[in-house]
Amino acid sequence: MAVSSRRLQKELMDIKKEGTPVGIELLKADDFSKWILSVEVLGDTVYKGEKFALMFRFDNQYPISAPAVQFVVDDKWSAPEHPICASILGSEWSPVLSVVSVCVTIQSMLASCKVCPCLTAHTRAALLTGRGFSSA
Amino acid sequence: MRPLMVPDPHCASCNGTFVERIENPADDPREFQHVDGAQWDDGALPAGMDAFFAGLQSILRGANPPPPPSVTASSSSTARPRSPEARRSSSDGIRPSTSSDQSFTGRNGPFTIRIERSNTPSGRMRTFVLGGPPVAPFTTGSGGEVPRLSQFTPRNPDGTQQDRPNITGPMLAQYLLALMGPGRAGDPFTDLLGGMFGPAGMPPGAESGRWGDYVFNQEALDQIISQIMENSNAHQPVPATEEIIEKLPREVLEEGSPLLEKDCAVCKDQFQLQTEDPDDHIIITLPCHHPFHQNCILPWLKNSGTCPVCRYQLVPQPASHAPGSQQRPGDSNNSSGSQTSDSSSSNNNNGGSGGGGGLLQNLVHFFANHGQQGSNNNADSGASSTGSSSTEQAPTTSSSASGPGRNQPSSGSAGSPNRSSQRNDDHLDVPGGWGEELD
């Protein structure tokens, strides 16, 4: 089994065994190329009460290479291509990080940021009008 | 960079002021408007205009080798091809709204350039029409298939067109963008621009809606923005050299090894002996005492010479969050106001890829400044907009493609100092900086 699949399987097992941190849910992990998780921003922030869906895409270099992470809008998982511009997904990526830890980071970014610049006009409009992502 | 505010706003870099005092009354920029108007009334195009249209026409004709534009240019000043008399006879007609078309190309050509003049009760106006038959999105106007520039001119509340021709830079840019909009691949105008700058100046990806700094669809805009951000991100990790990797201590797992209680942080597996692959028994311990499977850590070290756990540097890495990184979000991710200049500077770094953009910019300047022949057309936004009229908003074309992100270069002292606060106020959607970057 490829290194990336083995690693992702381990992460998946950990999620199923130990659960995810508060506000983070695994929505879809049918294979080892694309996962979708939802992130709910906790605390009193501009995104209070909203739930965002994050799509993770992995290549077979994962975890050496960072996953491509972006917000997705509706349950068709379709959204404009707007990769998130967090440094940990670029030059600051480390294989120690995981899907869950990236979610926690983005959760914390959303909580600490007045307006998330990752959410460009299109995405944000869609997210805000739809009031985020309605998960199962 | 913050402007110094005492006593007047000063640029912290050049120490110049933002407000220009006009000492010579003859330089009053408002006078240019009058000159402009006079030229319109006279009916004479600025001298360069003839050459410009002739050149454009000749290119548009494509197949037939046209006469060199210089011929027309030289003749335009002496024997104008369109005499004012002939023009008056047609344009000073009784019905004010009738327009006289002046075709520069034959109608059989794929492209027409028309200059329309018409009289309104309050004054004359003239409309430039550049267009070709297959224009999809603008079929509702009076011009039929060809998008008319008049559709883009501001209108009075009652729907009539404004008295004066007021061709601003962004407006012209929008018009050109409409002409070249998506789904019109292969049309003459695209071919024109593509052909003009084909092998020499075109950046790769010109076919995908991008010419230099100018973009024609959302995708290309995103591309440019990510390029800007990558360029500014001079923090790419430095891989460890082969020599360093060779010298790392390796250890083969055996019974009783203390390593067996530890995990490899890359694959998250515990070190264990009962694996099929003997390579999994080879453990590399970095100088920071963090152990990894050799198979796990080597690909990473060839990517970045750091410890995945503690970021210990096996080779010196570029300063990532060094002092001054607070400035980075603002600088690199650019507030809305600085987007254009950022992209153009990154373009300059690429060297000569701005051909397409340069043409558009020149076009825009040509129209915006047509009343000011002799002043430098290539002035950049900072120079040309200082204290001058409202028609000079030329260099915002690339951001005008993004709609709400459009901005106007500050034309005086007010704009620049407020730039950062402006970003917070209007919540524009160009990626701005995180207030603080998180690890």
Buried b (16+ CB within 10 A) or exposed e, B311-326: bebbeebeebeeeeee
278-297 of B, contacting A, C-beta below 8 A: 295-296
The helix (run of H) or strand (run of E) holding residue B73 is helix B69-78
Residues A6-61: tens digit of each pLDDT: 999 999 999 999 999 999 999 889 999 999 898 888 877 777 777 888 889 999 88
Q: Dig out the tokens for A52 from the structure.
A: 């965002």
Q: Which of B148, B174, B173 is nearest to B161 (CA)?
A: B148
Judge contact between B43 and B126, C-beta under 8 A: no
Closest residue in B to A11 (Cα–Cα): B268
Residues A72-86: tens digit of each pLDDT: 765 555 555 556 767
Q: Which residue is listed with tokens 């002939």?
A: B86
The reported pLDDT for the residue numbered B214 is 73
Domain annotation for chain A: domains and CATH numbers: 3-126 (3.10.110.10)
The conformation of residue B347, written as its DSSP 8-state character, comes to H
The alpha carbon of B257 is separated from its chain's Cα centroid by a whole number of angstroms, namely: 60
Catalytic annotation on A85?
A: yes
> Cα(B261)–Cα(B251) distance, rounded to whole angstroms?
15
> Cα(B269)–Cα(A3) distance, rounded to whole angstroms?
11
Closest residue in B to A90 (Cα–Cα): B236
Please tell me the pTM assigned to this model: 0.41
Pick from B263, B286, B300 the residue to mutate for testing the A interface (most A CBs within 10 Å). Answer: B300
Q: How far is B398 from chain A (nearest CA, A)?
A: 17
Backbone angles phi, psi at B10, to 5 degrees: -120, 145
Q: Which residues of B touch A90 (CB under 8 A)?
A: 233
How crowded is residue B62: how many other Cβ atoms within 10 Å of its Cβ? Answer: 15
Q: Say if the Cβ atoms of B431 and A85 lie within 8 Å.
A: yes
Average pLDDT score, chain B: 57
Residue of A85, A113, A116, A118 marked active site: A85
Mean pLDDT of A106-133: 56
| Alpha-carbon distances, residue B404 vs B11, B225, B336, B391, B399 (angstroms) | 28, 16, 10, 20, 9
> Cα(B46)–Cα(B408) distance, rounded to whole angstroms?
26
Nearest-by-Cβ selection for B438 from A3, A64, A109 = A109
Q: Which residues of A touch B229 (CB under 8 A)?
A: 85
| Alpha-carbon distances, residue B214 vs B207, B208, B220, B225, B352 (angstroms) | 12, 11, 9, 12, 14
B427 inside 8 A of chain A by CB = yes
Q: Dig out the tokens for B233 from the structure.
A: 């991100």
Residues of chain B short of pLDDT 70, as ranges, are 1-9, 12, 18-21, 28-51, 53-54, 56-171, 175, 177-213, 229-235, 319-439
The reported pLDDT for the residue numbered A121 is 47
Question: What residue ranges in B31-153 does DSSP mark as E strands?
Answer: 100-103, 112-120, 123-131
Domain annotation for chain B: domains and CATH numbers: 242-304 (3.30.40.10)
Nearest-by-Cβ selection for B268 from A7, A81, A88 = A7
The helix (run of H) or strand (run of E) holding residue B91 is helix B84-91
Q: Say if the Cβ atoms of B436 and A64 lie within 8 Å.
A: no
B10 inside 8 A of chain A by CB = no
Q: Which of A81, A77, A79, A85 is nearest to A109 (CA)?
A: A85
User: Helices in B103-210 by DSSP H: which ranges?
Assistant: 169-179, 188-197
Question: What residue ranges in chain A does DSSP mark as E strands?
Answer: 24-28, 34-40, 51-57, 68-72
Nearest-by-Cβ selection for B268 from A10, A85, A105 = A10
Is the ipTM beyond the 0.95 threshold?
Answer: no
Q: What is the Rg, in whole angstroms, of the alpha carbon atoms belonging to chain B?
A: 30
B434 inside 8 A of chain A by CB = yes
